[in-house]
Amino acid sequence: MVLACVLFVAGALMPSSFSSLERGDDEFARRNYPLALAVYDSVLTTSSDSAIVLWRLARVYVCLADVAPEGQQLDLYRRAEAFAVRSIAADSTKSEGHSWRAAALGNMAVFEGSKTKVRLCTVIKHELERAIELNPRDDIAFSILGSFYTALGNVSWLERQLAALLLGDLPEGGYDESERALRQAIALAPLVIRHHFELGTLYKELERNAEALEEFRQVLSLPVLLASDATRQLSAARLVKDLGGE
């Protein structure tokens, strides 16, 4: 799907609403998130709480939050999660509602304490597994799952034991699962910067520097699809230099 960012779902809405949905998708693809948000909001008023509009609203809020000042991010991620929950309630068989809920929760976890982080881990993993079950071609779900497992790979055995004792069990998984998920995301959507950047980050952490360089160079060669991709490209350029690629 080159990203859940450019889906057009024919026949799911009345023709006038679908036309507006397309306009929202066009503005999203142009990275004009405020206007996309306004268009989707207008569609929502006439679409009976349609799941396909609600997950798009969740997606916009995640993308807005990704490039917002730090003090504004948590509120935007919370709004994204709320729309994703509504999308799931409207139609739980749409994978995107689950994917974008996981995206929102993963970012919200950064702002939370240890106990809440552990609780959110279980929810995030459940949402991603459900998204992939519903749509095995959901590259966003695989990409976020890869990042999720990379984070778990950073948790030592001792930290896991302490978490289990004090906070609750963490999900199983780590670097191997991360690589598999990210490679699957790339196989499904090879032009998406995030997938390559996250795989490059994993390889750098594993000191597989030649492979990391390959992924970061790929990041620099790909088109910017999301506003946050520009930041990833800046980071990739620095990492290529740090790894001796220039």
- Together in a domain, 122 and 202: no
Question: Which of 182, 203, 223 is a domain's end point?
Answer: 182
Cα–Cα distance between 96 and 203 in angstroms, integer?
Answer: 28
Q: Are residues 195 and 172 in the same domain?
A: no
Q: Is residue 34 part of a domain?
A: yes
| pLDDT at residue 157 in the model | 36
Residue 246 confidence class, pLDDT cut points 50, 70, 90: low
pLDDT at 171: 57
State how many domains the chain has: 2
Asked whether residue 199 is domain-assigned, the answer is yes
Q: The domain that contains 108 carries what CATH number?
A: 1.25.40.10
pLDDT tens for residues 4-58? Answer: 332 223 233 334 445 888 999 999 999 999 999 999 999 987 765 599 999 999 9
Q: If you average pLDDT over residues 91-109, what whole number do you get?
A: 95
Flag whether 9 is in a domain: no
Measure the CA–CA gap between 127 and 55, rounded to whole angstroms: 14
Residue 20 lies in a domain: yes
Residue 8, C-beta contacts closer than 8 angstroms, at least 6 positions apart = 21, 22, 25
Which DSSP category does 8 fall into?
-
Q: Return d(Cα 125, Cα 51) in angstroms, integer.
A: 21
Q: What is residue 156's predicted lDDT score, i.e. its pLDDT?
A: 41
- Identify the domain containing residue 131 by its residue range: 14-182
Give me the chain's average pLDDT, please.
85
Q: Look at residue 167 and tell me whether its pLDDT is greater than 70.
A: no
Say if 58 falls within a structural domain. Answer: yes
Shared domain check, 129 and 52:
yes
Considering the domain architecture, whether residues 169 and 194 belong to the same structural domain is answered as no
What pLDDT was estimated at residue 15?
40
The answer to whether residues 142 and 215 belong to one domain is no
State residue 151's pLDDT score: 83
Whether the pLDDT of residue 154 is over 80: the answer is no
Indicate the residue type of 24. Answer: G
242 & 206 share domain:
yes
Is 6 among the domain residues? no
In this prediction, residue 122 carries a pLDDT of 86
**What does the alpha-carbon distance between residue 149 and residue 176 come to, in Å, rounded to a whole number?**
8
**Residue range 106-120, pLDDT digits in tens:** 999 888 876 777 778
Query: What's the rounded Cα separation, in Å, for the pair 246 and 237?
Result: 9
Distances from the Cα of 222 to the Cα of 99, 214, 215, angstroms:
23, 13, 11
Is there a single domain that holds both residue 136 and residue 37? yes
Closest C-alpha among 12, 13, 9, 18 to residue 39? 18
pLDDT more than 90, % of the chain: 68
Amino acid at 242: D
pLDDT of 170 over the 80 cut: no
Q: How confident is the model at residue 173 (pLDDT cuts 50, 70, 90)?
A: low
Buried b (16+ CB within 10 A) or exposed e, 174-196: ebebbbebbebbbebbeebbbbb
Tell whether 63 and 94 lie within a shared domain: yes
pLDDT at residue 161 greater than cutoff 50: no
131-152 pLDDT per residue, tens: 999 999 999 999 999 998 888 7
Whether residues 121 and 200 share a domain: the answer is: no
pLDDT reported for residue 158: 35
| Same-domain pairing of 178 and 194 | no
74 and 117 Cβ atoms separated by less than 8 Å: no
